[in-house]
Structure 1
């Protein structure tokens, strides 16, 4: 009988840990969740309505931008004194509402000297874009920023 009481009392004291509930702070849960999110990638890239039927919406989106840019620039009569062969980097920003803007235009000093109106030409090339649907991250519309290289070759 003494052994039974001893075993039961040991089990009683040891089992108290099983009934003790550990409370997890909500801040800890939120911080752990925020650490697990890859903030440099989105679930769905920004898109136009004409890209809905394609599988690669990112490529379609970039192609629409390039086609629009090529169409606008090909209509311009640009005169240069020297040949221009440069890659211009457009930093494009699309906010969570789908508003398109060019944050910066990076090109060489020679290109800027040869085509002083290049900045305004590039910015006005995107004036009449169709409605943009912003990027999606975890079922929320988010702002995105990306680079679009533009090759300028004028002889």
Structure 2
């Protein structure tokens, strides 16, 4: 019995080194986690209803961008934009998707474009794209984030 007590006490004293480790504080853990996260990319891209069934992330991204371009183009095709400005065949629109799933559309014009009535084109875009379908925002680590992209839209002249 004595031998067992001596062996047990030696094991207890010898194992104290395992309890002596320093526990990192909360700020240090936060800094380590931030260093691991790539803030330039998102975990999942924005999504629109018709692309929800696509599983592959690259195909889902392509589906989203093509669907967005198609929806914007359909809404602008039935407008007088092509009649007012026949020289415009493509318009670039900066799309911003906020974490609360709200959208903003801003037309992007070349710096030397003084021939366009920018406010008129902007108001046409806003009126045509006001009731746009719901878009799920991009996510980073499971948290909705703001995302922006330039969407080139071809204006059909009929």
Instruction: Determine if the alignment matches structure 1 residue 107 to structure 2 residue 113.
Output: no
1:5 corresponding residue in structure 2: none
Instruction: Rate the CA distance shift 1:40–1:71 in 2: closer, same or farther, 3 A.
Output: same
Q: In 2, Cα distance between the equivalents of 1:20 and 1:140? A: 37
Q: In 1, Cα distance between the equivalents of 2:103 and 2:84? A: 30
Unaligned runs of 5+ residues in structure 2 are 1-14
The farther-off stretch of 58-67 and 85-94 is: 85-94
How far off is 1:84 after superposition?
Answer: 1.8
How far off is 1:153 after superposition?
Answer: 7.3
- Please list, as runs of the form range in 1=range in 2, the aligned pairs for 1:77-92 lying within 5 A after superposition: 77=80, 78-80=82-84, 84-85=87-88, 87-92=90-95
Q: Higher strand share goes to which structure?
A: 1
One of 126, 130, 134 as aligned partner of 1:127:
130
TM-score by length of 2: 0.70
Alignment check: 8 A CA contact 1:84 1:153 kept: no
How far off is 1:90 after superposition?
Answer: 2.0
**CA offsets 1:57-95 (integer angstroms, 9 cap, x no match):** 2222222221122112221234357x6256543221111
TM-score by length of 1: 0.71
Unaligned runs of 5+ residues in structure 1 are 1-14
How far off is 1:31 after superposition?
Answer: 0.7
1:12 corresponding residue in structure 2: none
- Please list, as runs of the form range in 1=range in 2, the aligned pairs for 1:39-118 lying within 5 A after superposition: 39-55=39-55, 56-77=59-80, 78-80=82-84, 84-85=87-88, 87-102=90-105, 104-108=106-110, 113-114=115-116, 116=118, 117-118=120-121
How far off is 1:22 after superposition?
Answer: 1.8
Number of residue pairs matched? 139
How far off is 1:149 after superposition?
Answer: 2.3
Instruction: Rate the CA distance shift 1:54–1:112 in 2: closer, same or farther, 3 A.
Output: farther
Alignment check: 8 A CA contact 1:134 1:141 kept: yes
